[in-house]
Amino acid sequence: MTTHEKRIHTLFDYWLTSSLVLVFLTIIIGGLTRLTNSGLSITEWELFSGILPPLNNASWEKYFDLYKQIPQFKLINPNMLLSEFKIIFYWEYFHRILARLIGLFFLIPFIYFYFCKKINKLYLNNCLIIFFLIILQGLVGWYMVKSGLVNVVTVSHYRLSIHLSIALIIISLLFWLIINIRNNTHKTFLKFSENNLPFNIFILIIFVQIVIGAFVSGLDAGSIYQTWPLMGNTYFPDDISNENLLNFSNHSLVQFYHRNLAYIIIGYIIILSFYIFKKEKKELYKPLKIVLLILSFQVLMGIFTLLSGLNIFVASAHQITSVILVFAAINLNYLNAK
């Protein structure tokens, strides 16, 4: 490999790593946007306009007047002042700006790397998939926002979970691709085989848990029971009946599932740990310890989120750690994969 080719491969690595950081930052800002109930502050799509925030009082009044027309303002914030509106506006604004930045930051270098013919085609094909997912993510983001502009005071928790799921898939594919590049390998993400299956299941359970977590966030279900380990005075919430156990719009039930899936994940990683030590997979000992450490912190943050009365900083730490846990689980999967 020539010096020029090495430089291109290094730039390719830096580009993907920077893209991953941007996506991670966007997920963090998106979580805070939801926690501060700021996602509906901008009520228009503004694909090309809206790059700059309002620069004068007339512009601010325009955005504020549009917000006043939706149910969230009328039913939840009828006494909101313009100064208060600006706070929630900027959360959503920065979230959208980051999303735009990711799209451009990924597209332009991708075109360069594609035509320079120095990067492995398998890697470029993965990048193409990621780019299409980024476009889809933008469309789903607006589809989500639209659900909160009429009849209800917040976005659909189902659409919110789809929005978060696509973000997780994007950042997971980026992380897997970066690991492959740095180790000069071409391992397939979540390739199902007898050897990989226990680790694939672990990742999938975490993904499902994060989706349920999006339901909890979207429904504000964490505000129903803020006690632990019991939900109020009982293990199973006493305000639901057996007839609606598949009703994922029930606040109490969704929180119950989120809690208990966490217990399942803990039990599963204990079993997986025994499996790793029994098989003497010594190369997995260190990454397993990292998973156990992050998972322990994640569970504690979940408990403290409830007990703190949904403190925004603790809740944000809980959400951020979930993404870091995904990284740790993917790394464990990669090192085991054949």
Taking the model in full, what pTM does it have? 0.93
- CA-atom Rg of the chain in angstroms: 22
Tokens representing 34?
């939801």
- Inform me whether the pLDDT recorded for 30 exceeds 90: yes
The amino acid sitting at 120 is: N
Specify whether 142 is located in the same domain as 153.
Answer: yes
Give the total number of structural domains in the chain: 2
Last residue of a domain, one of 126, 152, 186: 186
Specify whether 233 is located in the same domain as 324.
Answer: yes
Whether a cis peptide bond, with omega within 30° of 0, leads into 109 is no
Specify whether 170 is located in the same domain as 289.
Answer: no
Last residue of a domain, one of 158, 186, 214: 186
The amino acid sitting at 247 is: N
Specify whether 206 is located in the same domain as 76.
Answer: no
Specify whether 16 is located in the same domain as 120.
Answer: yes
- Domain span at residue 33? 1-186
For 147-166, give the DSSP string.
TTSSSSSS--HHHHHHHHHH
Specify whether 317 is located in the same domain as 210.
Answer: yes
Given its phi and psi angles, is residue 323 left (phi above 0), alpha (psi -120 to 50 degrees) or beta? alpha
Distance separating alpha carbons of residues 16 and 158, to the nearest angstrom: 30
- State the pLDDT at residue 263: 96
Q: What are 228-237's pLDDT values in tens digits?
A: 999 988 998 8
The H-or-E segment that residue 101 falls in is helix 82-116
Specify whether 208 is located in the same domain as 292.
Answer: yes
Q: What are 167-220's pLDDT values in tens digits?
A: 999 999 999 999 999 999 999 998 888 889 999 999 999 999 999 999 999 999
Specify whether 100 is located in the same domain as 34.
Answer: yes
Specify whether 227 is located in the same domain as 113.
Answer: no
Please state which of the ranges 9-13, 42-46, 299-303, 324-328 shows the lowest mean pLDDT: 42-46
Question: Are 182 and 173 contacting, i.e. CB atoms less than 8 angstroms apart?
Answer: no
